[in-house]
Amino acid sequence: MDPQIAAAIAPLLGWAVHGGILTRRLATARRDPLTGLHPRAGWTARAEQCIRRHPHAAVLLVDLDHFKTLNDTHGHAAGDAALVATADRLRTWCGRHGTAGRLGGDEFVAVVRDLAAVDLDALTAALHQPLNHGDSSVPLAASVGVCPVAELSVAVLSDAFAAADAAMYAAKGRGRRGSRVSR
């Protein structure tokens, strides 16, 4: 190969490799490393778009019940497995109807285009299925708060999120292991 051509190509190859590395890092940053769900920022952008386009959308907040006890009793590996299982169950439930995300810790969010098109009881049941971890069955429970966006005076994500949060705490107040729609 001509030395002048090689000298011209070498920086281009370096930039191509660098660009590929940056692209992979960006893709990784757009997903929670443990669960593969969208982190707060990525989910928020998708949720805002969803509630603008779909008047029957709903925002859900999911919080694992007794997560500290699960970690203390079964270990942090079981806690991580519980987070991954919860994420998988929420992602599967959303399917093509919505988007799931992880806020952090044991808190998850979802937005669905039409609450009437999904089965909230099926989500609650899925989130309460025990997790097989190692040689033991780990009980899982979650509280779910739901805010149908149509019930808000103005369809704003922050208001929907606050209403779903209040509904989730109301579900926890009823002894946990359930869901509650904001009213």
**Residues marked as catalytic:** 106
Q: At what angle do helices 120-127 and 76-94 cross, to 10 degrees?
A: 160
Rounded distance between C-alpha atoms, residue 38 and residue 177, angstroms: 24
3-state secondary structure of 132: strand
Query: In 43-130, at which residue ranges do the beta strands (DSSP E only) sit?
Result: 58-64, 98-104, 107-112
Contact present, 58 and 43 (Cβ < 8 Å): no
Q: Token match 């439930």: residue? A: 93
